[in-house]
Amino acid sequence: MPKKGKNTDLKTPSLRRNLLGGLIFVVGLLLVIRIVLLIVTQHYKTVTVPDFTGLQMDEVESMARKDGLRMIASDSVYVRSVDKGAVFSQNPSAGSKVKKGRAVYITLNASRDKEVMMPDVTGYSLRQAIVELTSRGLVVGDLRYVYDIATDNVLGQSRPEGMLVSVGTVVDLVLGLDPNDTFVTAPNVIGQSLDAAINTLKTNSLNYSVHLDNTISSEKDIEKAFVYDQIPETHIEPANRGDYVDIYLTLDSGKLPSPSLEKDPSGVEEDEQI
């Protein structure tokens, strides 16, 4: 009578082959399923997201169709420096690799000017009026002075209180001027941007006139430009409140003056003193 132990030994290699075969079958099946999923879902196909910023919606939709992307306008903002109705930002960002059919969320700039209520700044000081108007997106225009007991007190404004006006509207001011408080010193605005220079001059009771050199050819250039010269120069000669300061803009940093040597009150340069 054969021993049972021998029968068990004969079956062991067959069992191992069956287990190995089953394992290979499962692995192969998983690989086939993976390949089928890649083909069906096209995970292996990606497109590069174009840069949509600054474009209008008809241009955006045309580019999106060509690349197989879906565009969703998720938000809107109001930015004066961006064209009305143009794309302000996007997600995913330009250059990202995404699957075809991916949604790209865009933020559009408002298609019309934002409107604000005109405040009443009469009775304000000049500085207070500048803060109030600029905080609403309005622009302080010409400063016109008339004799009054309170210097830089706002006596009138060119736009009536309560009317709806577009952001960026210019508001001229009428200000009081004590005859004994006429003179001011022109501040130094060399190296400042146009907006910063205007704010500095206005808060010092002065108007301005802008001159552009040949490096500037567009509004975007003006936004990046800086003041390289001004007339009158700072601390050289007194100016009357309401006078105009000529400011000269450039994109060429080589036009900025070299830092001058410090002078003492007597006008003698420090390195000339003994």
- pLDDT per residue, tens digit, the chain (274 aa), is 555 555 555 457 777 777 777 778 777 777 877 776 666 655 557 889 999 999 999 999 999 988 889 999 988 888 877 888 999 999 999 999 988 888 999 999 988 888 999 999 999 999 999 999 999 999 999 999 999 999 999 999 999 999 999 988 999 999 999 999 999 988 999 999 999 999 999 999 999 999 999 999 988 889 899 999 999 887 676 789 999 999 999 999 999 987 754 444 444 444 444 3
β-strand 170-177 against 139-147: which pairing, if any? parallel
Alpha carbon distance 264, 274 (integer Å): 13
Beta strands in the chain (DSSP E): 46-48, 70-77, 87-91, 97-99, 103-109, 115-117, 139-147, 154-157, 164-166, 170-177, 183-185, 207-212, 226-231, 238-240, 244-250
**Per-residue model confidence (pLDDT) at position 172:** 97
pTM (2 d.p.): 0.63
Task: Write down the pLDDT at residue 260.
Answer: 59
86 and 109 Cβ atoms separated by less than 8 Å: yes
Q: Give the per-residue pLDDT at 101.
A: 84
Helices (H), 79-193: 126-135
